[in-house]
Amino acid sequence: MTENRLVIAGTGSGVGKTTLTIGLMSALKKRGLTVQGFKCGPDYIDPTYHTAVTGRPSRNLDSWMLSEQTVKEIFQIGKKDADISIIEGVMGFYDGKNPLTNVGSTAEISMILESPVILVVNCASMARSAAAIVKGFQALSDGPNIVGVIANRVGSEGHFKLVKAAIEQECQVPVIGYLKREFDIEI
């Protein structure tokens, strides 16, 4: 598949996927792009945020309840006339129906749709350890294409630079940005 699309995945629930996803959607829309939102799994709350930001109905992609072909069809229909599709993951990247497989996970959706993945990592109170987390996500399965990382909950620009250096050296993927720890911003 050659469409412009990106999966925003997290190391777990609560790492900032939704905040980052709707912020990215808003920024792309402000640049004049038509943005289509998707949500992995049967979630109904996050798609309402996507719809509010993009002005287009967000759609669910669920490989546990639906066949691979149906997931592809939902994606193809939903992305019509969009410049870019942003697919927000569910829970942790590898979490799904069964803890021993990728079935029903964001990782599986990313493979079905051959989509590049940006991994959101909660980097609070760590530096080099963030690289170990990313490396583990890279190593667990051969199929997903993790192309970059966004560091969330960093304490300062200096903290971000430490995390970025460690991840880029050890994992060979760019850390494309960060969000500072903000106690007053929560969904």
Mapping DSSP onto H, E and C, the string for 101-129 reads CCCCCHHHHHHHCCCEEEEEEECCCCCCH
Q: Is the pLDDT of residue 2 over 60?
A: no
pLDDT category, 4, cuts 50, 70, 90? very high
- State mean pLDDT over 91-108: 95
How many angstroms separate the Cα of 77 from the Cα of each of 52, 90, 176?
19, 21, 30
Task: Report the chain's terminal Cα–Cα distance, integer Å.
Answer: 33
Residue 138: both structure tokens together: 């890279």
What pLDDT score was predicted for residue 140? 96
CA distance 1 to 17: 24
Q: What is the mean pLDDT of residues 79-99?
A: 96
Residue pair 150/111 in contact by the 8 Å Cβ criterion = no
| pLDDT number for residue 187 | 67
Q: What is d(CA 167, CA 149) in angstroms, rounded to the nearest whole number?
A: 8
Q: Kindly report the pTM of this predicted structure.
A: 0.94
Q: How far apart are CA 54 and CA 160, in angstroms?
A: 29
- pLDDT tens digit string along 102-123? 999 999 999 999 999 999 999 9
**Higher-scoring residue by pLDDT: 44, 74:** 74
Return the structure tokens found at 113: 């749709």
Hunting for tokens 């925003």 — which residue is that?
Answer: 8
**Residues whose CB falls within 8 Å of the CB of residue 79, separated by 6 or more in sequence, listed in order:** 3, 5, 36, 85
Instruction: To the nearest 10°, report the CA torsion of 120, 111, 53, 28.
Output: 80
Query: Is the per-residue pLDDT at 1 higher than 70?
Result: no
Q: What is the per-residue pLDDT across 126-183, written as a single tens digit (0 to 9) for each?
A: 999 999 999 999 999 999 999 999 999 999 999 999 999 999 999 999 999 999 987 7
pLDDT tens digits, one per residue of 10-37 = 999 989 999 999 999 999 999 999 999 9
Closest to 8 (Cα-Cα) out of 66, 123, 22, 174:
22
